[in-house]
Amino acid sequence: MSEEICAADPNDTRCSCYNIINRDCDANPNIPGCKENNEWRDSLVGVIPDKEEFADQKALAIREIQSRYHCHNRACSEDKYLPPEYYDLIAVGRCDFQLNICASDVNVGESINSKYFRDCSINEVEFQDLDSVYVQDVNVQSILGLRTGENAALIAAKNKELQLQLRAEEREADAERQADIETKQTEQLERIENIEEEYERKKENKRRLMLILLAMALLIVIVILNV
């Protein structure tokens, strides 16, 4: 199984992991990997009321869930093609994640003279204003210990860029090694050909010498017989 096969055929079931990493699952909802992960995403965000006041939380949840499509075995099991980017994502630990959502939709109807108290809190929230944190430099976010989809994606992208660079260097080094091997093989063939040519020249010279000696011997015999 190779990247070329998955790049050419998104409907190959073995390419589900490649699809969720390299293709847009919103634009391709029915291809392997995207289909089951989109269903998983919808089952999670479906509990969030579809109202304007909850739109930001719902959008955040969708982004965070989609950035973790590679987790578990919905798409990236051992029997699938696992592209290099998959190992980048695993390396940055993006599967270790807990998404807390606080959303409620209350309809008091025609209640009269009633008091309603809504307490919606999430324990151990390190940052109350995430927007103010997200606008900071990614290095500051790292110092603060905040793992976001944005900086995790940046790390994965940098890792991918580095891997591509290393692969290019490896391909260049392999090409140079192959060129050296071919040069040595060519030189060896030339040496063998030179040795064979030298052997043939010596063989030809020896044959000519034998013919000359034979001719001289016949000439001597003829002279002796004519005396």
pLDDT digit string, tens, across residues 65-74: 888 888 878 8
What pLDDT band is residue 172 in, cutting at 50, 70 and 90? confident
At residue 25 the predicted structure's pLDDT band, cuts being 50, 70 and 90, is very high
pLDDT of residue 114: 45
Which residues make Cβ contacts (< 8 Å) with residue 147, sequence separation at least 6?
93, 94, 97
Which residue segment(s) compose the domain that 21 sits in?
Answer: 1-103
Return the pLDDT at 89. 81
Phi/psi at 50 (nearest 5 deg)? Answer: -85, 70
Mean predicted lDDT score pLDDT of the chain: 76
Chain centre distance of CA 223: 91
Task: With respect to residue 139, please indicate whether it lies within any of the assigned structural domains.
Answer: no
Looking at residue 118, what is its pLDDT? Answer: 46
**Residue 100: what pLDDT?**
61
**Within-domain flag for 45:** yes
Query: Given pLDDT bands bounded at 50, 70 and 90, which one contains residue 35?
Result: very high
Asked if 42 and 25 count as a contact pair (C-beta separation under 8 A), the reply is no
Q: Assess whether pLDDT exceeds 80 at residue 97.
A: no
Q: If 0-12 CB within 10 Å is exposed, 13-18 middle and 19+ buried, where does residue 12 land? A: middle
Classify residue 161: in a domain, yes or no.
no
Predicted confidence band at 132 (pLDDT cuts at 50, 70, 90)? Answer: very low
Whether 41 maps to a domain, the answer reads yes
Query: For tokens 């995403």, what's the residue?
Result: 41
**Alpha helices for the chain (secondary structure H):** 3-8, 16-22, 34-45, 55-66, 84-91, 130-134, 138-144, 149-226
25-36 burial: b if 16+ Cβ within 10 Å, else e:
beebeebbbbbe
Asked whether residue 14 carries a pLDDT value surpassing 90, the answer given is yes
Considering the domain boundaries, does residue 196 fall inside one? Answer: no
Domain assignment present for 97: yes
Average pLDDT over residues 54-74: 84
Is residue 34 one of the residues assigned to a domain? yes
Q: Pick the residue with more confidence: 106 or 51?
A: 51
Four-point Cα dihedral 173, 157, 10, 94, nearest 10: 120
Number of domains comprising the chain: 1
Statement: the pTM of the whole predicted model exceeds 0.75? no
Residues of the chain with pLDDT > 70, as a percent, come to 70
How crowded is the C-beta side of 110, counted as CA atoms within 13 Å?
0
Residue 25 lies in a domain: yes
Instruction: Kindly provide the residue ranges of all beta strands, DSSP E only, lying in 94-165, ordered along the sequence.
Output: none
Has residue 138 got a pLDDT over 80? no
Range in 13-27, 64-78, 85-99, 123-137 the model is least confident about? 123-137
